[in-house]
Amino acid sequence: MRPRLGLPSDVDAITNVIIQAMPLDPQWDYRFPLRYEYPDDHYKYTRMLLELFLDPAHNDWCVMVVEDALEPDCETMIVAFGVWDVSYANKRKYGPDYQAQDPVTEVEERGGSTRKDANHEHFDAFWKGQIRAYKTYFGSIGPDQIHLQILATLPDYQRRGHGTSLCRWAMELVRKEGLQDMSVMASPMGYELYTWLGFETIGTFIIQVPGEKERLTLVAMMYRPGI
């Protein structure tokens, strides 16, 4: 199935995908260790973030979805999605001083700072660490790039090519728009896929709260057309 643009009406289906798929990724446990104790909070704020990504007014972000069915005669449903930072378009339109939209901060301002499912120190370290890593590894490239923020597939539909089709859609966008690259901060869960697709490893960085032993290791990766 070819990816299509995600719509605001898809928010519940996409929330279902991320709630089921992301616990397989170590960074989800790191940020949301209490999600089973507080499932309502986990669903509420996850859905709120996805609503912002899907809102046409938040056009610095693009959500693409893939629909599939386990059996040929079954009704299709959304089984995979990706979220990209596509703020390059507004930066081209409004110039280098344009400030990109930040849905994560918006969720925090709407009550996310008090959510009970999260380890807030880990959450803060993860988000700020990704921002620092992006500036370190990709900041010198300039605005002509996109960044893959989320890629998720329902467990029963994994290894059916859906993550690949979503990435290939974005790789084609990079070529069509004359962009420099597509970047991603890869966890161990996604590293193998991105390597297979031809992404380069640019560097490794650590997410860790000072004084703690627990940490995450993520890999900065880049797809560049023609490489």
Q: Are 129 and 205 in contact (CB under 8 A)?
A: yes
Q: pLDDT digits over 91-130, tens only?
A: 999 997 899 999 988 998 888 789 999 999 999 999 999 9
What residue type is assigned to position 120 of the chain? Answer: H
Mean pLDDT score, 131-140: 92
Nearest to 47 by CA among 126, 130, 110, 1: 110
Average pLDDT of every residue of the chain = 94
Please tell me the distance from the alpha carbon of residue 85 to that of residue 185, in angstroms, as a whole number. Answer: 13
Give the strand order in the sheet containing 77-85: 4-5, 61-68, 77-85, 145-153, 181-186, 216-223, 200-207
Nearest to 218 by CA among 193, 190, 178, 181: 190
Mean pLDDT score, 206-221: 94
What integer pLDDT is reported at residue 227 of this predicted model? 60
Q: pLDDT digits over 20-63, tens only?
A: 999 888 999 999 999 999 999 999 999 999 999 999 999 999 99
What integer pLDDT is reported at residue 136 of this predicted model? 94
